Amino acid sequence: MENLSQDARYTLQFINQTKRNIFLTGKAGTGKTTLLKEIISTTHKNVVVVAPTGIAALNAGGVTIHSMFQLPFAGFIPENVAPQFSGSVAFETKQTLSRHFRMSGIKKAVIRNMELLIIDEVSMLRADLLDAIDFMLQSVRKKKSPFGGVQVLFIGDLMQLPPVIRDEEWKTLRQYYKGKFFFHSHVIQLNPPLYIELSKIFRQTDDIFISVLNNLRNNRISQEDIGVLNQYVKKDFDFKKNKGFITLTTHNTKADAMNTKALEELEGKLFTFSPEITGDFPEKIFPIEERLQLKEGAQVIFVKNDLSADKHFFNGKMGIVKSLSGEEIMVHFPEENKTIEVEKYEWENIRYLVNPDTKEIEEEVLGTFVHYPIKLAWAITVHKSQGLTFDKAALDVSQVFLPGQAYVALSRLRSLEGLILLSPLQMNGISNDLDVMDYAGNKANETILANSLEQETRKFLLEYLQSAFDWQDLAQEWRNHQFSYTEKSENSEKSKHAAWAKKQAGILWQIQEPARKFMSQLHALFSRETTDYQFIEERINAAYAYFFSTMDQMVYDILWKLEEVKRIKKVKAFYEELSVLEELQVKAVLRLMKARLLVKTIASRETISKEALTSHEIKNYKSNALEKIRVEFKSKNSTLIDDNADAERYTKKEKVPKELKKSTVQETYELWLEKNSVKEIAAIRKLTVQTIGGHIAKLIEAGKIAIADVLPEDKIIELRNVFNNYTEETLNPLKEKYGDKFTWDELKMFRASLNLA
């Protein structure tokens, strides 16, 4: 956190210490993506990341809005009944949209446990789609507050790519909306988020260039600014004499034609590379083109950052293909006189699910797409350049067709020194949307942020602590369950447990009054002019000691009952009723445990984070209770045959996802330590054997795995002789010389053993 700007620090604090909705924006190059990753990795809240398009979602490490919320690709009218429509335009209303909310238990659990929703690339988010999200969250979570009580962080630069609404759609939607941007939605009009703008620019350092970009962004561009830019006009710029320039143009067909023509003009063999796809990874979310065609001498661009400690490349770095083979791509960076082997990158298609023990939202990998993170780079569209950084670029912006495109194109560059304009920049066609400019006037200054943070933190803490001791809804669920034992069920298997249900409901009902009194005490303590967090911590600890044993015992009792019922035949509905109660009861206890850590953190003036609000006790609470119950259950039912089929009769075998996001190589290493073979690791991780082989080579180079543990001794001796006095950068000559005697993986692994870190 020490490397973050003040605006970024405020954002993190608002996310972790309040429930305030935030709109986080900033000029190109201010570090929005970096901050997004920091929030995801450090927040203590159950977080879900979505974006309007598949590619944007993949880059943000999340899922699409439509898949997460099961929304159809149609316009949304924020009323209950829709008028009749004709033609090719489809609309949903509150009434018709509800039919899409029939979803799996996994999806419902994620939505009900969600605490923070991050919407990335919000410039593309339509107003009606955001209202549909709001309606969906309120409906599924059964809460009438905005977004069903979920905190929302909107991230994006409204000066960049706008929402897309067809003219025939807008003819209808304009009756309900003043504009198409997310801030025109009804939910935002009634509940405006706090507007935070990142101001520190990391990409550019040239004051003149920064000034021009700011003026362009804010619709204040002058003839003087245009004059500064037009100094860089070179209509007849010779790309062949000036290597390393990429052309930014406005249309896909133009960029594709330029790349195709330049590739065809190169001599040499054409190589085609395809991705390794495993599991579920739909074509519509492929992050890059499926077929990568290259020749030696091709100009390429990296589309991801180097994840290794070497940091050889970044998203937007240009290079020249130096040598090629079917299994090896060597790229040269002329300005640094450095050549690297391009390693494949792994993109993951994920879904969210809830950990049954901790009730935390986690990720499950559905499929992977492994490919070289490069593409041909003689030309690229302005649209696809978003998020990239160029040292040298030629801009063809004479046909700018959307507000903000000139700004997006120019802001990709680090400095004016690398700029070439292929035609003079005209004043027309580069203005930004006036609604966006007006909305930008809402950004909060530091005084507003500081005051708001203090007030919202106090409000958040009070609400969180009160919710930890508010069991009215839980008590009502227990009462509903108690009264579900009707006369019709008198002779059923379920009726045998009626007395138990009545006792449990009664226990929880008895602690409602002292819980209400304690919540009143909390409210009084927070109403004082000065909040004494030390004293509040003392009161929370006392209340925890008073209530925890009762709540904990109820968890024990219902887990015991489930252990008993799952061995009885033909009571699936009863088992599922108990499972719902168990989830709510465990969730209430975990929130109580987390509340104690929260107030301790604030009282100690420590940073609220994921690490601060979790513990070994919380992570293992349910699993420890289950283990204890199973041991005791067996000892008390020694005559019972422990038939696994009976014990697992009603339970679904769900994959428990990984607790923490580790590097892809580290995950392979941990599976290797468990004595899994390369093939077994590939199957477990939904990756190819070839990809896992690449991981093993990295681990050998890092000194974590010995080459002798991977290859047989006779093979190592042969390879040692082969590599004796071999100094080439590429392995291709060896592969051509020895053919099938050695695989590419064997050559790469042995070379890695010679370069031990």
Q: What is the mean pLDDT of the chain?
A: 86
pLDDT beyond 50 at 559: yes
Per-position DSSP letters for 106-138, written without gaps between them:
HHHHHHHH--EEEE-SGGG--HHHHHHHHHHHH
pLDDT for position 475: 92
Q: pLDDT band at residue 657, thresholds of 50, 70 and 90?
A: very low
Residue predicted with more confidence, 195 or 102: 195
Amino acid at the residue 580 = V
- Mean pLDDT over 585-592 rounds to 94
Phi, psi for residue 374 in degrees, rounded to 5: -135, 160
Structure confidence by residue, pLDDT tens digits, 14-36: 999 999 999 998 876 677 888 88
pLDDT for position 415: 87
| Lowest mean pLDDT segment, chosen from 280-294, 306-320, 494-508, 712-726 | 306-320
Structure confidence by residue, pLDDT tens digits, 471-484: 998 999 999 999 88
Residue corresponding to tokens 């008895």: 510
Q: pLDDT band at residue 5, thresholds of 50, 70 and 90?
A: confident
Chain centroid to CA 360: 15
- Mean pLDDT over 690-697 rounds to 89
pLDDT for position 428: 57
Q: How far apart are CA 55 and CA 435, in angstroms?
A: 27
Angle, helices 446-468/572-603, rounded to nearest 10 degrees? 130
Q: How far apart are CA 307 and CA 309, in angstroms?
A: 7
Q: How far apart are CA 522 and CA 516, in angstroms?
A: 10
Residue corresponding to tokens 């968890």: 555
Q: pLDDT band at residue 2, thresholds of 50, 70 and 90?
A: low
Structure confidence by residue, pLDDT tens digits, 251-279: 889 999 999 999 999 999 999 999 999 99
Contacts of 422 (CB under 8 A, 6+ apart): 233, 234, 235, 237, 247, 394, 395, 396, 398
- Mean pLDDT over 657-677 rounds to 78
| DSSP assigned state of 607 | P
Q: What percent of the chain has pLDDT over 70?
A: 91
Element (H, E) at 269: none
Structure confidence by residue, pLDDT tens digits, 504-534: 999 999 999 999 999 999 999 999 888 899 9
Structure confidence by residue, pLDDT tens digits, 372-415: 999 999 999 887 787 778 889 999 876 554 556 777 788 888 88
CA distances from 372 to 291, 367, 377, 465 (A): 10, 17, 14, 49
Phi, psi for residue 199 in degrees, rounded to 5: -110, -20
Q: How far apart are CA 484 and CA 168, in angstroms?
A: 52
- Mean pLDDT over 338-353 rounds to 90
Q: How far apart are CA 580 and CA 668, in angstroms?
A: 36
pLDDT for position 102: 76
pLDDT beyond 80 at 638: no
Q: pLDDT band at residue 489, thresholds of 50, 70 and 90?
A: low
pLDDT for position 151: 96
pLDDT for position 646: 53
Beta-sheet pairing, 151-155 with 22-26: parallel
pLDDT for position 246: 92
- Mean pLDDT over 280-294 rounds to 90
| Lowest mean pLDDT segment, chosen from 205-209, 231-235, 596-600, 651-655 | 651-655
pLDDT for position 89: 80
pLDDT for position 510: 93
3-class SS of residue 493: coil
Element (H, E) at 608: none
Beta-sheet pairing, 47-51 with 63-64: parallel
Please report the domains of the chain, with CATH numbers, ordered by start residue. Answer: 6-202 (3.40.50.300), 207-432 (no CATH), 458-637 (no CATH), 664-755 (1.10.10.1390)
Q: How far apart are CA 378 and CA 244, in angstroms?
A: 8
Chain centroid to CA 88: 34
b or e along 133-149 (b: 16 or more beta carbons within 10 Å of the residue's beta carbon)? bbbbbbbbbeeeebbbb
| Lowest mean pLDDT segment, chosen from 49-53, 95-99, 192-196, 557-561 | 95-99
Q: How far apart are CA 322 and CA 329, in angstroms?
A: 8
Structure confidence by residue, pLDDT tens digits, 423-443: 887 765 555 567 777 887 788
- Mean pLDDT over 222-240 rounds to 87
Q: pLDDT band at residue 537, thresholds of 50, 70 and 90?
A: very high
Q: pLDDT band at residue 48, thresholds of 50, 70 and 90?
A: very high
pLDDT for position 131: 96
pLDDT for position 543: 96
